[in-house]
């Protein structure tokens, strides 16, 4: 039997030395999508990244829909900080309520870190509604777009940031609230919807964090699993 600690050491070494971004098909929507006009539509794109900052872009038929740019933590002064981050899984979801017929086409998501990137193209086919009273006026094209981390693995460091971002025409009516692994509210001091964990350790910080986004009467919970890796023995 292979020693689990030995295998863990090999995995950590691989994460430290191989920096890349990969598209995760198992956590993403299918490439081909058939939906009915007027229905609620979700399109999800997932990436696995070994960089602690990553920018997400969404395009439809070559036109930019939304972009989310990672925020660098300027307070961090550790010269070895680039080597302390191991990996993160980022999931970006577009949700359209009452999708209109003219949103057919190709959708592309892209994850970028400097000159390294990964991308995926989806194809959406909207079936025309047979309802006579369905019109553009009663088909809301509001896009509720979210970007969040679902897993994070890093070695001991002073700061780690979890993203919980969204774009919506109803943004002024939306509120975000982070909950710790014990479902207790966390204070982000109203500066950002991102959550910064300071001096994270395995004993105190490991667990499932939840970001709750509520717009009007609708709420969504986005989860981020944090697993700080221990020092090599």
- Ordered domains of the chain (ranges, CATH): 4-228 (2.60.40.10)
Please tell me which residue, 76 or 13, carries the higher pLDDT value.
13
What tens digit of pLDDT does each residue of 93-138 get?
Answer: 887 777 888 888 999 999 998 899 999 999 999 998 765 444 444 4
| pLDDT interval class at 170 (50, 70, 90) | low
CA distance 188 to 177: 8
What tens digit of pLDDT does each residue of 192-229 get?
Answer: 677 877 777 777 888 888 888 877 777 777 777 777 76
C-alpha atoms less than 13 angstroms from C-alpha of 84 in its C-beta half-sphere: 18
Q: pLDDT at residue 32 above 80?
A: yes
State the average pLDDT over residues 129-152: 51
State the average pLDDT over residues 21-39: 88
**pLDDT reported for residue 80:** 47
Phi, psi of 217 (to 5 degrees): -105, 5
Nearest-CA neighbor of 164 among 155, 177, 183, 151? 177
Per the prediction, the chain carries an average pLDDT of 73
**pLDDT reported for residue 33:** 92
Within the chain, how many helices (H) and strands (E) appear?
Answer: 2, 16
Q: What is the DSSP letter of 80?
A: T
Q: pLDDT at residue 16 above 70?
A: no
pTM above 0.75, yes or no: no
- Assigned token pair, 112: 């970028």
Chain Cα centroid distance, residue 72? 16
Nearest-CA neighbor of 115 among 172, 51, 167? 51
CA distance 173 to 193: 14
| pLDDT interval class at 22 (50, 70, 90) | confident
**How distant, in Å, are the alpha carbons of 113, 153, 177, 185, 209 from that of 51?**
7, 11, 25, 28, 20
């Amino acid at each position: 039997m292979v020693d689990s600690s030995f295998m863990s050491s090999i995995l950590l070494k691989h994460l430290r030395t191989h920096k890349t971004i990969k598209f995760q098909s198992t956590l993403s929507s299918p490439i081909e999508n058939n939906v009915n006009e007027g229905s609620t539509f979700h399109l999800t794109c997932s990436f696995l990244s070994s960089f602690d900052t990553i920018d997400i872009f969404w395009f439809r038929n070559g036109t930019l829909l939304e972009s989310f740019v990672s925020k660098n933590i300027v307070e961090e002064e550790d010269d070895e900080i680039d080597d302390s981050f191991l990996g993160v899984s980022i999931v970006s979801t577009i949700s359209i309520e009452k999708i209109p017929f003219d949103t057919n086409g190709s959708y592309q998501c892209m994850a970028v870190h400097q000159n390294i990137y990964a991308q995926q193209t989806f194809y959406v086919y909207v079936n025309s509604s047979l309802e006579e009273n369905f019109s553009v006026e009663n088909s809301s094209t509001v896009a509720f777009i979210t970007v969040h981390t679902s897993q994070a693995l890093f070695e001991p460091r002073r700061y780690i940031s979890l993203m919980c971002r969204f774009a919506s025409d109803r943004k002024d009516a939306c509120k975000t609230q982070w909950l710790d692994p014990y479902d207790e509210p966390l204070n982000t001091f109203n500066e950002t919807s991102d959550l910064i964990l300071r001096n994270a350790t395995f004993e105190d910080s490991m667990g499932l964090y939840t970001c709750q986004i509520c717009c009007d009467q609708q709420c969504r919970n986005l989860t981020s699993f944090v697993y700080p890796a221990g020092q090599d023995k």
